[in-house]
A and B are shown apart, each in its own frame.
Chain A
Amino acid sequence: VLLHLLVMRGFSRSVDWVRAAIAVALLSALIPLNLISPLSADAAPPLPGAPASTYNCPPPGPHCYGQIAWLGTTYGTSSSIYIQPLTCGNCTTSNHYHLNVETWLIDNNSGGYIEVGYGARDAQNGAEWYFWSNTPPGQGQTRNDVGPIPPGDYFASSGFKMTRNRQDANHVQVQEWSANYRFTVVATNNMGGGYGGPNAYTGTEINIGSELVGVNNGGNEFQSTNGNADWTNNQWQEHAGTYHYQTSDGIRRIDGPEYQGDWAIPPHSSSTGGDLYVSCGC
């Protein structure tokens, strides 16, 4: 309107230059105030059904999970997981909070399990890294903080695999591989071999999903800044070197208010083990 008045009345005097400059400045000032938006098409609200932005999963537990589980004996598991930025705003070591995106290989006969994935937790002040963790039957746990996720691995998928060692049923081979990083380790874990001899299977259950420990104090303790974690190429291992894509939709354990998720493509209608997304409202 200001421009219109100024323009229609002509610019025959120098004072009109001043008015024109004021008009342009006023219009420019409206942009950062969001009174007008150059990107209004991107200002869509969160989709319906999104989880709450607060969460309550205090230590020591129970922890919060968004998981899919498959039951049945297996030599191992393999999945591709999309790497998302996670932040740990107010996180300190003393808070021992963490947010993991991972897979689990569990032996419910022995109570042993192994995990591999990526996460953000204490002490790194927002950085996230690859990890794997070993919990042998009847023993404590060791978690290996392998290293920070290379920048080039974000917004792409990394492969994660846990398989019974070919030579020794008491050990599980853990592998991660991506465009920029790869590690292979052999974990000592008696799952499988401890009760069934060298031909025993390693696991009785495979889980894929996310785990959260923490309490939202109104700060940004944790954020999954891009929304969804995502698992594809989900496979189980029948024998050494023989893998099969999952064809069952598994057991859904995405029941807390902190997590939302579902099959984007269910395994029963997929030739590559389905496509699971899990969103943490944290």
Chain B
Amino acid sequence: MRTIKPYIVIGVALLLLALEIAAVQLRSGGVAGRGVGSPVGASEVSLTPSPAPPVQGTVSPPRGYMPPWKSDTDLTTMRPTGVPAIKPTIPGAGPTTPAFTVADVTAYHTTYHTVADISGYYGVGDYASSVLPRIVKVEFLTEKALRARIPDSTGLPDDTLLCYVQYSGSFVLVPPPGVQRPVSIWPYAIEVFDAHTGNRMIAGLAPTLR
């Protein structure tokens, strides 16, 4: 049998190692330059980023895109979408009929609002409650009708069909530091959903049944 030259074997081994290293780098998300705040392309980022280990630092990240100054009179706005909450169950619902039912609202409530955390608190829409929240009102109404009920709007057109839900409980409002306002307890929490997407548009606290 013919003898194989040692340098050929070494070359092949090194080539295989280089390929392995490249594969490891690809699996780990890249090479140096993706440290704290390094800008990446838009196509490389998802809405649900993978839980990479936190990198704590004492430096400010690179700026990346800086938005140009926007005048107070520039009222450009895009349609708000809210965040996913209730899953629609009625396909093909028209503009004046909801894509989910009161039973779907109740199921959402049971799943997300009736389990206490390790501190013993329940929660609706980010507001902790020391007692079990209960649904006291579910109403499908338009954006225009909603504005007559609460101070702010969803930002959607007047004829948009929404779902207004009010909960009883003992909800806590904690003001940020510096605000001359004590921690307060509220008897009601509200959530407003887009009646077609099921997305939550508003969460809040209320003093009375509305």
Contacts and interface: CB of A to CB of B under 8 A. Distances in A.
Interface string A67-79: 1010000000000
A210 to B, nearest CB: 11
Given A142-B202, A205-B178, A124 B1 contact: no
Contacts, number: 360
A151 B42 contact: yes
A47 B56 contact: yes
Contact of A226 (B36, B46, B207): B36
B34 to A, nearest CB: 9
Interface residues of B, number: 108
A58 B51 CA distance: 22
Contacts of B176: 63, 65, 67, 104, 106, 113, 115, 207, 211
A97 to B, nearest CB: 8
Interface string A205-237: 101000100010100100111111010110000
A177 B48 contact: no
A51 B127 contact: no
B25 A6 contact: no
A145 B204 contact: no
B183 interface: yes
A92 B81 CA distance: 20
B179 A106 contact: yes
A59 B60 contact: no
Contacts of B70: 159, 161, 175, 177, 182
B61 A177 contact: no
Contacts of B196: none
Contacts of B207: 139-140
Secondary structure type dominating chain B contacts: loop
Contacts of B71: 241
A260 B76 CA distance: 36
Interface string B142-160: 0000000011111100000
Interface string A22-36: 011001100110000
A85 B49 contact: yes
B56 A281 contact: yes
A181 interface: yes
B94 interface: no
Contact of B63 (A13, A49, A82): A82
B81 to A, nearest CB: 4
A154 B37 CA distance: 10
Contacts of B114: 94
Contact of A51 (B56, B59, B81, B112): B56
B180 to A, nearest CB: 5
Interface of B: 1, 3-4, 6, 9-10, 12-13, 16-17, 20-21, 24-25, 28, 31-32, 35-40, 42-43, 45-49, 51-61, 63-67, 69-78, 80-85, 111-119, 121-128, 130, 150-155, 172-181, 183, 186, 190, 199-207
Which 6 pairs between the two chains have the least Cβ-Cβ distance?
A: A96-B123, A93-B112, A50-B56, A140-B205, A156-B65, A152-B42
21 contacts: A38-B21, A60-B128, A65-B176, A92-B112, A93-B124, A95-B117, A97-B117, A98-B126, A106-B179, A111-B179, A124-B83, A128-B47, A144-B152, A145-B199, A151-B45, A159-B69, A180-B42, A207-B177, A226-B55, A228-B36, A277-B59
